[in-house]
Chains A and B, each alone.
Chain A
Amino acid sequence: MLSLDMAFWTMAVVTVVSAAAVVLLKDVFRAALCLVLTFMVVAGLFVLLSAEFLAVVQVLIYAGAISILIIFAIMLTRDVHQGNPSNRFRYPALVLAALLLAAIVLVVIKTDWNQLDSRVLPGAPTEAVGATETGVKNVFSNTTPVIARLLLRDFVLPFEVASVLLLAAILGALALVREGEG
C-alpha cells in the first residue's frame, strides 16, 4: 500500500499547489495552464479511488474540451495582459479563507469516517473482513454499468433537467451576445 500512499500524497500536493497557483498567478494564461494541470491530477485521484470511468471523462471533458475553450477565450480577449488584479479585500478574504480551512481540517480530524476497517465489527473473524473487502472490490471493479444505471434509471429526472439547463445556458449566451434587435 506504500506505493498507493505515495501516489496519493504526490497528487494531493500537486492538486493543491496548482489550484492555489490558479488563484494567485497574475498572468491569466499561466493560471489557465495551472487549471489544466489541476484537472489532470484530479483525474489521477479518481483512478486511485477506483473510479476509472470518471477519470477518463474528466480527462476528455475537463482537461480536453473545457481547457481548450478557456485558452481560446483568453486568447480572444483584449486587454488580457492586465492580468488578474487583487483588490482591497485581499487580506480579509485571506483571514476568512484560513478560518474556513481550519474548520474543514478540524472536521476531517474529528470525524469518524466510515472507513472499511471500522465498518467491520471488532472481533469479527478474518473471513468477514475479507468478504467485505471483496464486496467493495466487486462494486468498484466495473463502475461504468453502475453509473449508467444510476444516470439513466434512478436519477433520470435530474439528468434530463440538466439538458434543459444546458439549453437555457446556450439560449442565454446567444441572447446576450447576438447583435441587433429582434
Chain B
Amino acid sequence: MNYLLFLPELALAALAFGVLVIDLFLPRERKGYLPWVSLVGLAGVLALSLRYLWGKDTNLYGGLFLVDSFSLFFKAFFLVMGGLVVLSSMEYVKRHLSHPGEYYGILLLSILAMMLMTSSGELLTAYISLELLSFSLYVLVSFARGDPKSNEAGLKYILLGAFASALLLYGISHVYGMLGTTGFTEISAALLLEETPLNPAVLLGLALIVAGLGFKMAAAPFHMWAPDVYEGAPTPVTAYLAVGVKAAVFALVLRLFSQAFMPAIEEWQVILAILAALTMTVGNLVAIAQSNIKRMLAYSSIGQVGYLLMGVAALSPMASDGVMLHLLGYGISNLAAFLGVILYYNVTGKENIADYAGLADRSPFLAMAMSVALFSLAGLPFFAGFTTKFYLFTAAAEGGFLWLVGLAITNSLISLYYYLIVIKQMYMVPASDKSALKVSLIGGGVLGVLVLGIFLVGVYPAPLVDAIQGATGAILP
C-alpha cells in the first residue's frame, strides 16, 4: 500500500498533536506563536497534498479511503480555509478566549476530519469522520466559557448534533441491513440489482440519512439549532461553522449521492427539491427580522444551503460543478463578511446591526469590505456570488427544476433587501461615536485579500471552473 497517499492526513494529525505539545512548554506571553505554527503547518500539509495527490485516482484500505481529484480539490479548499480561519482567530482568541493551545489543536483536528470526510468511500468511515468534526465543533462552540450564550449554544449543538448522528446511524444501518454493504460503489451496484419501486426499508434508510445530514448542514426543517449556535459561538468559530462545515457536509453529500445513491435518483430527487425550497424560503424570510448580525448571517447561510441543495437535487456533472463553485464563492464572501464582524467586535465589542451605524465614516475600508461581501452574498454582478449563483441556477434549470430556480431568484431578491439594511446602517445612518476605528494589520490584510478574491472569482472564474470540472469528473464521469 502506498502510504504517501495518506501522508497529508498523517501530517495534519501530527501537526495537531505538535501544537498541543508545544502549548505545554510555551510560557504564557509566547502563546501567540501557536497560530503561526498552525499556519506554517497547514501550508506544509497543503504542499504535501498537492505534491503527492495531484492527478492520482486510486484508493487505500480496500476502497475505504479514496484518492481522486474530487477529494484533492476539497482538501485544498479546507486547508486554505483553515488557514484563513486561523488568521481571523488570532486577535479574537488572544482577547476573548483562554486555552489557545486547545483551540488551535482542536481546530486542526476538525480540518483533519473534513479531509477524511471528503476521502471516505464508505459509510462508516464517513460517519466516524463526521463525528470527529462534530465533537471538535461542540468544543469550539462552547469555548467562550465565561459567556452564558456560548455555553447555551454548546449545549444545544451537542444535544441536537447527537440526535442527528443517531438518525444518520439508524439510516446507515437500514441501508447496510438491506443491501449488505456500506461501500459507496457496492451500494450503487446493489441498488441497480434491486427491483423498483425500492424496498421500503432502503427508502427509510435513505430518508433518515438525508435527515441526519440535513441537521448537520442546517437545512430546514432541521435548522432550529443554527441561529442560536451561530449567535452564541465565538465569531471565528461561527465563520468556520458557516463555511467549512457546510462545505465538508456538501462534499460528502455530493460523493454519497453520485457514487452510492445515483441509481435511486428518482426516489430522493423530490425530497431534496422540497427540502431546498423550504430551506431557502425559511432562511431568507426569517433573516429579515434579525437584529443581531451573527443571527442574520446565520439565517442567510441557511438560505444559501437551500440553493446548494437545489444543485444536489438536480444532480448532474454540471450541477455538481455549480454546487462546488457556489460553495467556493459563498465561502469567500461569507468569510469576508464574518471577518468584518470579528474585526468590528474586536475593537468595539458590539455585534448588533444597529451598532454598525456610521461605520463608513469611522473605518471606510471595513465598511467597503463588508459591503462587497454582502453584495456578493446577495449575488450582484461583478461579485463572486453572481457568477457562482448563475452557474448553479443554470445547472438546476437544465436539470428540470425551473420552478425551484424561480423561487431561488425571488429569494435572492429578498436577501438583497436585508443585506441592504446593513449597508444602509453603515453608509446612511450617522454614528453616535465618531472616533476612527483602527483595524488590526493582519485582519485588515486578510480581509483585503478576501475582497480581491471575491472580485477575481466574480470576473475571471475560468481557471476555477476548469479545476472544478476535473474534480467532478472523479465522481460523475
Do A and B actually bind?
A: yes
Q: Which residues of A contact B (CB under 8 A)?
A: 103-104, 106-107, 110-114, 154-158, 161-162, 164-165, 167-169, 171-176, 178, 180-182
Asked if B135 CB lies within 8 Å of chain A CBs, one says: yes
Beta-carbon contact of B125 and A175 below 8 Å: no
A155-B64 in contact given A161-B125, A175-B99 (Cβ < 8 Å): yes
A–B Cβ pairs within 8 angstroms, 30 of them: A104-B204, A106-B200, A107-B200, A107-B201, A107-B203, A111-B201, A156-B61, A157-B60, A158-B125, A158-B127, A161-B113, A161-B116, A161-B128, A162-B128, A164-B112, A164-B132, A165-B132, A167-B109, A168-B106, A168-B139, A169-B139, A171-B102, A171-B105, A172-B102, A172-B135, A172-B139, A175-B103, A176-B139, A176-B154, A182-B99
Beta-carbon contact of A181 and B98 below 8 Å: yes
Beta-carbon contact of A111 and B132 below 8 Å: no
> Which chain A positions have C-beta within 8 A of B110?
168
> Which chain A positions have C-beta within 8 A of B203?
107
> Which chain B positions have C-beta within 8 A of A171?
20, 102, 105-106, 139
Complex Cα gap A176–B144 (Å)? 9
Complex Cα gap A114–B193 (Å)? 14
> Which chain A positions have C-beta within 8 A of B113?
161
Beta-carbon contact of B204 and A107 below 8 Å: yes
Complex Cα gap A107–B13 (Å)? 42
Q: Which residues of B contact A (CB under 8 A)?
A: 13, 20, 28, 60-62, 64-65, 98-99, 102-103, 105-106, 109-110, 112-113, 116, 124-125, 127-129, 131-132, 135-136, 138-139, 142-143, 145, 154, 177-178, 199-201, 203-204
A154-B132 in contact given A171-B106, A178-B99 (Cβ < 8 Å): no
Pick the contact of B132: A104, A106, A161, A182 (CB < 8 A): A161
> Which chain B positions have C-beta within 8 A of A180?
98
Beta-carbon contact of B200 and A110 below 8 Å: yes
Complex Cα gap A155–B99 (Å)? 34
Beta-carbon contact of B135 and A155 below 8 Å: no
Pick the contact of A155: B28, B124, B139 (CB < 8 A): B124
User: Separation in Å of the B115 CB from the closest CB of chain A?
Assistant: 11
Complex Cα gap A182–B31 (Å)? 8
Beta-carbon contact of A175 and B124 below 8 Å: no
Beta-carbon contact of B125 and A111 below 8 Å: no
> Which chain A positions have C-beta within 8 A of B28?
181-182
> Which chain A positions have C-beta within 8 A of B177?
114
User: Separation in Å of the B129 CB from the closest CB of chain A?
Assistant: 6
Name the residue of chain B whose CB is nearest to the CB of A171.
Answer: B102
